């Protein structure tokens, strides 16, 4: 045992001298590896314990462990001294206060949020109220009140996420149109932005979780021309003053007549047959619109003979694709910091 103690004393003395001479963290780590590493001198001593008498082996292990603990403490002290020395050297350096500083990284509004905000602001300036509602709704507000009974084939097209037999994640923000009409008498003018869910396969143009902005105007004497004027103004607000809008006949159970809404391609303006945004068609599809169906007005207690109205629903990510000339809708949700900074 006395021989082992002598070897440990010599090893510790040499370790302390080596640690004190280390000039930086790399050199100090080399000392650690040489003495305490897997193939270091302490490991060699541990392997020699087997050559001692059986009665001395337990005490030998304790002695070595105590020495290792003291060496590790010395490592920590040497590391602190090196860190303090480096800090003092940095403080001693001359600082040029006129040198340009590093510009701090700042956040920005997400492009989808910006489109939602700007679209809502456009309608607010025209007297519309912004209404928000729950993302989990009964099927009555999602379908029945919108002239989509349980047997209607259009109901299958929404391919919704049902939570119970009657509750589901809303596939559109139209429930807020129904709730608003049930709570207020005409005239009403509201815009309903929010998150929606559909069981769509994710690709460059579809997400299973997305955002919509819907609008509704009901009063006496409302006609399709009012709808065209408002949506044309919205497109010019979002995409620029040169935008035009076209309405293609379509079918929706909750509007009659119904129309799909397209705007001129913001990238090529309809002038390029090889445009990768519009595919050479010159138009970008935004969503659906139309005059509120008389059955919907009747369901909320309005008189279809007296009141008329229009409604529309646009996908906000679709608006973002056109506004920012983005080729894939998934880029809005991939959290790519460089991409978001570019659109900021």
Q: 15 near 37, Cβ under 8 Å?
A: no
Chosen domain end from 33, 57, 92: 92
Are residues 35 and 166 located together in one domain of the fold?
no
Q: DSSP character for 203?
A: B
Distance separating alpha carbons of residues 28 and 26, to the nearest angstrom: 5
CA dihedral 124, 126, 131, 132 (to 10 degrees): -50
pLDDT, residue 272, reads 66
Q: Is residue 177 part of a domain?
A: yes
Are residues 175 and 311 located together in one domain of the fold?
yes
Are residues 191 and 325 located together in one domain of the fold?
yes
**Per-residue DSSP letters for 328-339?**
-GGGGTS--HHH
Identify the domain containing residue 314 by its residue range: 111-343
Are residues 40 and 182 located together in one domain of the fold?
no
Q: Is residue 106 part of a domain?
A: no
Are residues 265 and 339 located together in one domain of the fold?
yes
Distance separating alpha carbons of residues 277 and 329, to the nearest angstrom: 12
Torsion over CA: 290, 231, 187, 115 (sign): positive
pLDDT, residue 16, reads 84
Are residues 22 and 152 located together in one domain of the fold?
no
Are residues 165 and 313 located together in one domain of the fold?
yes
Distance separating alpha carbons of residues 287 and 266, to the nearest angstrom: 16
Chosen domain end from 61, 92, 123: 92
Are residues 145 and 74 located together in one domain of the fold?
no
Distance of CA 248 to CAs 206, 228, 284, Å?
Answer: 21, 12, 12
Q: 274 near 286, Cβ under 8 Å?
A: no
Question: Which CATH number covers residue 266?
Answer: 3.30.930.10
Chosen domain end from 92, 127, 146: 92
Length of the chain: 344
- The arrangement of strands across the sheet holding 188-197 comes to 129-130, 188-197, 209-219, 308-315, 283-292, 255-264, 245-252
Please name the residue that has the structure tokens 């040198």: 99
Are residues 239 and 339 located together in one domain of the fold?
yes
Q: pLDDT of 224-238, one tens digit each?
A: 999 999 999 998 888
Q: Is residue 120 part of a domain?
A: yes
The phi-psi region of residue 180 (left if phi > 0; otherwise alpha if psi is between -120 and 50; otherwise beta) is alpha
Q: Is residue 103 part of a domain?
A: no
Structural domain tally of the chain? 2
Q: Is residue 68 part of a domain?
A: yes
Q: Is residue 87 part of a domain?
A: yes
Q: In the numeric block, which tokens belong to residue 292?
A: 């509120």
Q: 114 near 193, Cβ under 8 Å?
A: no
Task: Classify residue 170 as exposed, middle or buried by CB count within 10 Å of its CB (0-12, 13-18, 19+).
Answer: buried
Contacts of 78 (CB under 8 A, 6+ apart): 19, 20, 22, 28
Are residues 292 and 166 located together in one domain of the fold?
yes
pLDDT along the chain (344 residues), means of 10: 73 83 86 82 78 74 82 87 85 77 81 93 95 94 90 74 90 94 95 92 84 95 94 89 86 93 76 70 87 95 94 92 83 85 82
Are residues 184 and 220 located together in one domain of the fold?
yes
Distance separating alpha carbons of residues 290 and 252, to the nearest angstrom: 8
Q: Is residue 47 part of a domain?
A: yes
Distance separating alpha carbons of residues 195 and 70, to the nearest angstrom: 61
Q: DSSP character for 242?
A: T
Q: Is residue 101 part of a domain?
A: no
> 10 Å Cβ neighbour count for 143?
24
> 10 Å Cβ neighbour count for 110?
16
Distance of CA 132 to CAs 73, 102, 164, 215, 312, Å?
Answer: 61, 41, 23, 12, 16
> 10 Å Cβ neighbour count for 50?
9
Distance separating alpha carbons of residues 277 and 269, to the nearest angstrom: 11
Are residues 140 and 71 located together in one domain of the fold?
no
Q: DSSP character for 96?
A: -
């Amino acid at each position: 045992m006395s021989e082992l103690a002598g070897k440990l004393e010599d090893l510790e003395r040499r370790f302390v001298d080596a640690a004190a001479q280390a000039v930086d963290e790399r050199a100090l780590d080399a000392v650690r590896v040489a003495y305490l590493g897997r193939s270091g001198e302490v490991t060699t001593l541990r392997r020699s314990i087997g050559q001692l008498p059986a009665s001395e082996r337990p005490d030998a292990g304790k002695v070595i462990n105590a020495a290792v603990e003291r060496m590790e403490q010395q490592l920590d002290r040497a590391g602190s001294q090196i860190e303090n020395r480096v800090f003092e050297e940095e403080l001693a350096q001359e600082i040029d206060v006129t040198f340009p500083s590093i510009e701090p990284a700042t956040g920005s509004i997400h492009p989808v949020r910006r489109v939602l905000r700007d679209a809502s602001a456009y309608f607010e300036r025209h007297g519309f109220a912004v209404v928000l509602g729950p993302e989990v709704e009964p099927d009555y507000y999602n379908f029945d009140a919108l002239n989509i009974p349980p047997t209607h084939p259009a109901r299958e097209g929404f391919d919704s996420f049902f939570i119970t037999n009657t509750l589901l994640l809303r596939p559109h923000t139209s429930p807020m149109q129904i709730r608003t009409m049930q709570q207020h008498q005409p005239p009403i003018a509201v815009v309903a932005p929010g998150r929606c869910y559909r069981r769509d396969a994710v690709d460059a143009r579809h997400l299973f979780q997305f955002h919509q902005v819907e609008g509704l105007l009901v009063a006496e004497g409302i006609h399709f021309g009012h709808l065209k004027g408002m949506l044309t103004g919205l497109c010019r607000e979002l995409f620029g003053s040169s935008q035009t809008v076209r309405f293609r006949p379509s079918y929706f159970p909750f509007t009659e007549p119904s129309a799909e809404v397209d705007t001129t391609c913001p990238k090529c303006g309809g002038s390029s047959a090889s445009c990768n945004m519009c595919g050479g068609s010159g138009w970008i599809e935004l969503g659906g619109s139309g005059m509120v169906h008389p059955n919907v007005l009747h369901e909320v207690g309005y008189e279809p003979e007296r009141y008329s109205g229009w409604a529309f629903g646009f996908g906000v990510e679709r608006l973002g694709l056109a506004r920012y000339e983005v080729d894939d809708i998934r880029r809005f949700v991939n959290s790519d910091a460089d991409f978001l900074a570019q659109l900021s």
